[in-house]
Structure 1
Amino acid sequence: MSSSWSPRPHVAPDTSRLLIERAHEEFLAGNPGDRRVGDVRGIVRESWSRSLASLVGAEALPRLELVGAELEAYRRTHPLASVMEMVRALLMPGTAEESGVVVAVGDAAGRLLWVEGDKHVRSLTGDMGFVEGTNWAEDAVGTSAPGTALALGRSVQIRGAEHYNRLVQPWSCTAAPVHDPETRQLLGVIDVTGGVEAVTPQAQLLVDATARAVEGELLVARLRARAAAGGRAPVRRRPPVRQDAMLRTLGRDRALLEVTGDGIETAVEISARHAEILLMLAVHREGLSAEALSELVYDHATTETLRPEMVRLRRVLEPIAPGLVPTSRPYRLPSPLETDAHHVLSLLDRGAHRVAFAAYRGPVLPDSTSPGVSEVRESVRLALREALIAEAGVDVLLAYADTADGRDDDEVLRLCLALLPARSPKRAGLVARIERLGQP
């Protein structure tokens, strides 16, 4: 049986996949004029060329651009938030968690805002970074249905080996852009990702129809709002200035506090003690008494030492992040403070093990002896290790085995050895490392 995706007529699907894979390798090797590349669909060749021109890596992980409270706030105000129930009803009817596909909705920049559907598939696709907050535009990860649909402004299907990024090639996807029903400005993209069932003609018809239905619903809602306002356009009030803050502690002795608000970005390196206090308040969002915070930071209830330190911390925060100046009785942060440590845990929860490992820059405040910091440090380390052992592929496990956390981990080394092919040249080095660990 021939394949409609085949670069040559009367070629079986498996052979077609091999031909496209070879064409992909020739293209990346600098041979775009090779006959095999010429056989690939034009829409794919053109996308590969744009990806190459954007210097996209052939195994690049997508950038994580929206996280935590920032992601939640952005989703709430995005125009597509109001039509998510319609998207779910049309593309994920019945038992969505056993549908065999995942449905993603992203913004006009290619950032995924919602990723829902089959739980097992979400776990697998999460390993390549297909999770909320990551950027899947063509200039970020190369050829993919959501990114290419946004680039072309029309629905696109990308099957397996046609993806520019090798990490994505086990999957197939169909995506359609969503436009503003009046201005035709690009609002975002709807994508269905899975196996071959995600790239059937019926799948493209369904995704296209969903995008058109969404545009229709947006127009109806807008007309109703105008009618309710007596024919006048609703008054748009400028939202209050908001600050988003991130505390970067992974692999850093002195944390970096990043604050973004009203188009202004500020990054300040703070002292080790202030980093410990902010981390504890970020972890314990309900607040802490002076005694409890002292015990977490100093290992004993020295409130006399803590109070002047809190005064100094307030002086540091007031000019750059007034929304983070702690209140007292109990000590609490008035605004959410995200941390890179919590982002790693969030990625692990979503099955994005490869992205979580890439985001893990090292232990939390490695030189800190604070009891509370030590607990957070160990919980992140163990969560990452356990997730990688349970779910990660051998390439990620080998990379973990080369880190300070993994190089002397006998269980990790033995698991890598078990997963490697029998003739892999990497086996000898692993055996030698395991034998050294076993020596008294």
Structure 2
Amino acid sequence: MTRSPINVTQLATVDAARAARVLSEMREAALSGEHTHLAPRPVIGESWGRMQRSGVDPEHDFRSGLLSPEEIRRRREESPLRHVLPALREGLVSVADTAHHIMVVADAEGRVLWREGSSAVLRKADGLGFLLGADWRESVVGTNGVGTPVVVRRPVQVFAAEHFVRSHASWTCTGAPITDPRDGRLIGVVDVSGPLETMHPATLAWVDSVAKLAEARLRELHLSALERLRAVGAPVLARLTGRALVVDRDGWTATVTGMPYTSRIGLPKSLSAGRRWLPALGLCTVEPLAEGWLVRTADEPVPPGATRIVLDLGQPRRWSVTVSGSAGSWTHELSPRHSELLFLLAQRPAGRSAAQLAQDMFGDPARTVTVRAELSRVRRYLGSFLEHRPYRFREGVEIEVILPSDPRELLPHSTAPAVVRARASATVP
């Protein structure tokens, strides 16, 4: 029997109540294993599969402990999202209030840090446990407009019984991830939610566009901060000889002297002043300067290269690469795209051409420009540990890949054909 995904948007636009009933019937059939001619949309069906494998109870919601007010304040102060709240409010809150919605902003862990909008809808959200400090991860409360975008890294609208947990079926929510425009790292989710009768087909595009405006604002703030640091650092470098550069706390370059410009260097997470070995530069002297670091190379022989690289894909939404050797070890958090690329290279020790990687990533061997650009960014922190023609890890380096306990949970955000095949095979090399 051919199963056809329900066109939720089209059906709900005509008759939201009927759409909710159809979805409820489809959900009951899907969870009981009955055969039906209707199927959930792929993004919803895949989420339901994750819920069933992880043991989320579809009949009872689970309300974990809320964060304390002190912890909420701490997370707010440390979150880059605090810088774009005005943009989010301007783009969402006034319309959401009029349309009987609320705006919710959560961090990368799915914890609700801000809620604003219709007071009546806020009270209804309270009844669902959709409170400040609540844990709204998909693995905790099921398919929803906060936790599911965290997993799949793209905007998602969840309507009525598309929610995995029955008690949320009176709700509609639309969420979009907000990523750090510098490196693609997830920093949070913005969501617009309300009673199911408030569902509108344009909401997904609306929320996504506001999330992109927030990312553009973060990019502007980053460039402005580098300009301020450059104004302080350029006169300092003008008095120095040898190779030196000024970077911000995350390693982004403000100005250099005596060496080619590179947009970013890898820094240890807990960098402190003194003589330090940095992956891209070797032995250096590091000094605090304004809101960043003055880094001067020691021009001494670089310690022997690393001998072990660990690619950790086992933690949900937190992927990293750790390089270890006689010079010490360092860890770099990976963006979704870089986690895909390094996984594909680890699968093929003999290497892949740019066209082959483009086929693996996009199903289109012509997209070599995108692949080369991304690998150029990877080389900023892995440097000499990657070869090209073909692209591969350097010979003699030991590679270990840490995978999820269930191969079907491998990089769940990824739509790369090669990763999708690896997930489906349930036997990842």
**What is the CA distance between 1:167 and its match in structure 2?**
1.4
Match runs of 1:176-325 below 5 Å: 176-196=176-196, 199-230=199-230, 232-235=246-249
Match of 1:117 in 2: 117
Shift of 1:214: 0.7
Give the AA of the match of 1:225.
Answer: A
The percentage of counterpart residues that share the same residue type is 29
Q: Could you tell me which amino acid in structure 2 is paired with residue 124 of structure 1?
A: K
Contact conserved, 1:177 with 1:190, CA < 8 A, in 2?
Answer: yes
CA deviations on 1:220-279 (whole Å, 9 max, x unpaired) are 10111111011643347979xxxxxxxxxxxxxxxxxxxxxxxxxxxxxxxxxxxxxxxx
Deviation at 1:17, TM superposition (A): 2.1
* Conservation of the 8 A alpha-carbon contact between 1:61 and 1:128: no
1:21 maps to amino acid:
S
Write the mapping of 1:404-423 to structure 2, written as runs, cut at 5 A: none
* Alignment match, 2:86: 85
Residue identity in the other structure for 2:8: W
- Measured against aligned partners, the alpha-carbon deviations of 1:46-97 in whole angstroms (never above 9, x if no partner) come to 2111111111122223323422101111111111011111111110127x65
Contact 1:178/1:186 (8 A) holds in 2 = yes
- Structure 1 SS opposite 2:123: helix
Amino acid at match of 2:87: M
1:12 shift after superposition: 5.0
**Residues 93 and 12 of structure 1: is their aligned pair in 2 closer, same or farther, counting only changes over 3 Å?**
closer
Cα deviation digits, residues 412-439 of structure 1 (max 9, x gap): xxxxxxxxxxxxxxxxxxxxxxxxxxxx
Change (3 A) 1:195 1:60: closer
Between the aligned partners of 2:209 and 2:10, the Cα distance in structure 1 is 28
Q: Distance in 1 between matches of 2:125 and 2:111?
A: 16
Question: What amino acid is the match of 2:213?
Answer: A
**Rg (Cα) greater in structure:** 1
CA distance in 1, matches of 2:224, 2:198: 35
Partner of 1:15: 18
Where does residue 70 of structure 2 map in the other structure?
A: 69
| Secondary structure class of the residue paired with 1:46 | helix
Which residue is 2:31 aligned to?
28
> Corresponding residue for 1:155?
155
- Cα distance in structure 1, aligned partners of 2:117 and 2:9: 29
Distance change >3 Å, CA 165–CA 140, structure 1 → 2: same
Partner Cα separation in structure 2 for residue 24 and residue 209 of structure 1: 30
Q: Residue type of the partner of 1:194?
A: G
Gaps of 5+ in 1: 240-440
Letter in 1 for 2:25: R
Show the counterpart of 1:133: 133
Q: Is 1:169 the counterpart of 2:169 in the alignment?
A: yes
**Cα 1:8–1:123, aligned 2, differ >3 Å: closer, same or farther?**
closer
Q: Distance in 1 between matches of 2:110 and 2:132?
A: 11
Amino acid at match of 1:187: I
* Structure 2 residue aligned with 1:258: none
Q: Give the paired residue count.
A: 234
Distance change (3 Å), C-alpha of 1:208 and 1:197: farther
Structure 1 residue 140, shift from structure 2 partner: 0.8
CA contact (8 A) 2:173 2:192 kept: yes
For the residues of structure 2 that align with 1:57 and 1:122, how far apart are their CA atoms?
Answer: 25
- Offset at 1:7? 10
1:363 maps to which residue?
none
Where 1:35 maps in the other structure, the secondary structure is coil
Contact 2:175 2:204 in 1 (8 A): yes
CA contact (8 A) 1:102 1:122 kept: yes
Counterpart CA distance in 2 for 1:174 and 1:75 is: 22
Query: 3-state SS of the aligned residue for 2:177?
Result: strand
* Cα distance in structure 2, aligned partners of 1:15 and 1:197: 11
* C-alpha distance 197-234 of structure 1, shift in aligned 2 (>3 A): farther
Change (3 A) 1:218 1:7: closer
Q: Does 1:5 align with 2:13?
A: no
Deviations 1:354-389 (A, max 9, x none): xxxxxxxxxxxxxxxxxxxxxxxxxxxxxxxxxxxx
CA contact (8 A) 2:177 2:186 kept: yes
Q: Which has the higher strand share?
A: 2
* Residues 12 and 199 in structure 2, CA contact (< 8 A), matched pair in contact too: no
Shift of 1:42: 2.3
- SS of 2:247's equivalent in the other structure is coil
User: Is contact 1:173-1:198 (8 Å) kept?
Assistant: no
What is the rounded CA distance, in whole Å, between the counterparts of 2:98 and 2:15 in structure 1?
29
CA distance in 1, matches of 2:13, 2:149: 28
Taking structure 1 as reference, are residues 48 and 218 closer, same or farther at Cα in structure 2, changes over 3 Å only?
same
- TM-score normalized with structure 2 length: 0.50
1:24 is aligned with what amino acid?
R
Question: Structure 1 CA distance, aligned partners of 2:83 and 2:45?
Answer: 36
Distance verdict in 2 for CA 1:156–1:6, change over 3 Å: closer
Provide the TM-score with structure 1 as the length reference: 0.49
Counterpart secondary structure, 1:116: strand
1:115 alignment partner AA: R
* Local SS of the residue matching 1:130: coil
The verdict on how the C-alpha distance between 1:40 and 1:73 changes in structure 2, with shifts beyond 3 A counting, is same
Equivalence for 1:51 = 51
- For 1:54 and 1:199, the matched residues in 2 are separated by 29
* 2:140 maps to amino acid: A
Superposition deviation, residue 200 in structure 1: 2.2
C-alpha deviation, 1:124, in angstroms: 0.7
Deviations 1:183-236 (A, max 9, x none): 101111110001357542321121111111111111110111111011643347
Deviation at 1:152, TM superposition (A): 1.0
Higher relative helix content: 1
CA separation of 1:158 and 1:86: change in aligned 2, threshold 3 A: same
